[in-house]
Amino acid sequence: MPMYEYRCPDCGEWQQAFRSHSRRDQGPDCLSCGSANTERGIHGATAGSKPPPIAGVVEVAPYVKGPGLLDAESGRRYRLADRVCLDEGCGHEDDTVEVWLDEAGDPAEPSPTCSKCDGAATWRAINPGHSRFSEVFPYFDEGAGRTFNNKRERREWMRLNNIEEAGDLRGPLDRWARKDNDDERKAFADYNNLRDRYRHDPALRAVYRQLEDEGRGMPDLQ
């Protein structure tokens, strides 16, 4: 349905309204003063100026994204961070902790305490480029042959055993994918060669053509 612009002659305010073509001259009541004398016209708003309000449409406040994540049950917002003990003798870390935020978006508990020694701790932001949801502790590590209760325990075991993480697996995965593609191309080639043999071999082509006429030939594979 088209939208038209209307001016109130009593107060001079403009507004917009949806109207069918046959009702385009039946203006709405003025949103400013309530007058029923609005007249259709052209507002001619310039670029960057605010358009006239629309009659019959309820305006809602713009959505402003609050800081952090919203907890639907409590209505509070939080961020995910690591809680790190400042005591070098302890060094305990709690991975991926929900940090409740105040109205300004800052931690409601700016000076946390260590969950192990009750000493002073600090919040360490999680690198947003790294997914932490795949790290669930405790878990059994197939490569290590043991269970790790947290990331610090895993790092310490790796240090004592002079072990490093495997790193990026994209290289081996790419090689496996290329091998699979090569195997697939070879299978298609063998299939097409066999079908060509049936079609052109003097001893087989008559029988194969009959099978194709009956709809029992080897189909074309994409």
Please report whether residue 187 resides in a domain.
Answer: yes
Please report whether residue 108 resides in a domain.
Answer: yes
pTM above the 0.75 mark? no
In what order do the strands lie in the sheet containing 14-18?
Answer: 14-18, 3-7, 39-41
Please report whether residue 201 resides in a domain.
Answer: yes
Band of residue 106 on the pLDDT scale cut at 50, 70, 90: confident
Helix (H) and strand (E) counts for the chain? 3, 9
Q: What is the pLDDT of residues 10-53, one digit of tens each?
A: 998 998 888 888 888 988 999 889 899 999 988 766 555 667 77
Percent of the residues in the chain that have a pLDDT greater than 70, as a whole number: 77
- 222 compared with 119, residue with greater pLDDT: 119
Verify that 177 and 150 share a domain, yes or no. no
Residue 203's domain spans which residues? 172-213
State the total domains in the chain: 4
Please report whether residue 143 resides in a domain.
Answer: yes
Q: 80: closest CA among 127, 119, 115?
A: 127
Verify that 176 and 158 share a domain, yes or no. no
Verify that 152 and 198 share a domain, yes or no. no
